[in-house]
Structure 1
Amino acid sequence: MSETADWRQALREKGYRLTPQREMILAAVDELGHATPDEVLAHVQQRASTVNASTVYRTLEVLEELGLVRHAHLSDRAPTYHSTRGHEHFHLVCRGCHKVVSVESEEAAPFVESLTTRHAFSPDLGHLTVFGRCHDCEENQNR
């Protein structure tokens, strides 16, 4: 079964209707990579000006409930959504230039192992954001 059929089936199984708005919003998240609800709204409104902010927010909640998107807090602004259909990853955010880097979850394996072994805890890396300074910003600060 294709990914498209999978998410459509997931909607129906949970009692949700498949609407053009839901399709457009999920497509926007896929196309944008990491986007706030306002960025998703702006993207969708380029195609259908009838979609409003409350529709985007409600749909993102439904899509997250279904496991099709996740959110992370990459700044002090609104949460940023990304598709779960790609690789599982966590985020590095530079406090200097605000660059966001997606890091494969395998890179956190020793950290995850330690949390599991020492604390009997299984982390959800998709929501993990590590703030710091990238090499370029660190170099510029030390000059």
Structure 2
Amino acid sequence: MSETTLAEMLRERGLRLTPQRQLVLQAVHELGHATPEQVHNAVREVAAGVNITTVYRTLELLEELGLVRHTHLSHGSPTYHPGGHDQHIHLVCRHCGTVSEMDPMLMAPLADELTREKGFTVDVGHVALFGTCAECGDISREK
């Protein structure tokens, strides 16, 4: 997203584009999947004076604007990733913490069944499956 587009979106809400907002959005895009603490650390490398409260407030605002999305990939803080991308399933390795993405169509049969049986609609953007990635599985098999 360009600075101009972000500035216009903020202006429409009576807000302005601040360096902090720009840095937080840039950090989310660079990190891919990141907790507010990870975003804060990335932003502080560029602007040491930005505090964690500003990062949390900015992430909330950016989510309201549809520029970032969050999901819960552990029991801790939510994980943010760029918005506007297609929804995806998150695969989280319990050993190394790697997060990878899969096409949500893999969930289609289950989602259809849940809708049919329970009237329940799955929000695929928040689906996280935990397990062991191929690399960690290879390491454990070598032992």
**Structure 2: runs of 5+ lacking an equivalent:** none
SS of corresponding position for 2:33: coil
Note the C-alpha offset of 1:32: 0.7
The answer (yes or no) to whether the contact 2:6–2:17 under 8 Å persists in 1 is: no
> How much is the aligned-residue C-alpha RMSD, in angstroms?
2.2
Match of 1:108 in 2: 107
Q: Deviations over 1:84-112 (max 9, x none)?
A: 13332121112233222211222222122
State the alpha-carbon separation in 2 of the partners of residues 10 and 119 from structure 1. 38
The structure 1 segments of at least 4 consecutive aligned residues displaced by more than 4 Å after TM superposition are 135-139
**2:35 matched to which residue of 1?**
36
Work out the CA distance in 2 between the residues paired with 1:69 and 1:77.
Answer: 18
Q: How does 1:76-115 map to 2 (within 5 A)?
A: 76-115=75-114
- 1:65-91 CA distances to partner (integer Å, 9 max, x unpaired)? 222111112222221110113332121
Q: 1:88 to 1:7 in 2, by over 3 A?
A: farther
Query: Unaligned stretches of 5+ in structure 1?
Result: none
Partner of 1:9: 8
Would you say the 8 A contact 2:87–2:125 is kept in 1?
yes
Q: Aligned AA for 1:125?
A: V
What amino acid sits opposite 1:91 in the alignment? Answer: H
1:119 aligns with 2:118: yes
Distance 1:114 1:11 in 2: 40
Q: Mapping of 1:37-76 within 5 angstroms?
A: 37-76=36-75
Moved more, 20-29 or 93-102: 93-102
Q: Partner of 2:46: helix, strand, or coil?
A: coil
Structure 1 residues 7 and 131 mapped into 2: Cα distance closer, same or farther (>3 Å)? same
Report the Cα offset of residue 55 of structure 1: 0.6
For residues 21-67 of structure 1, the C-alpha deviation after alignment (integer angstroms, 9 at most, x for no partner) is: 11111011011101111111111112112211111011001111222
For structure 1, which segment, 35-44 or 109-118, has the greater mean C-alpha deviation from structure 2 after superposition?
109-118
2:25 is equivalent to residue 26 of structure 1: yes
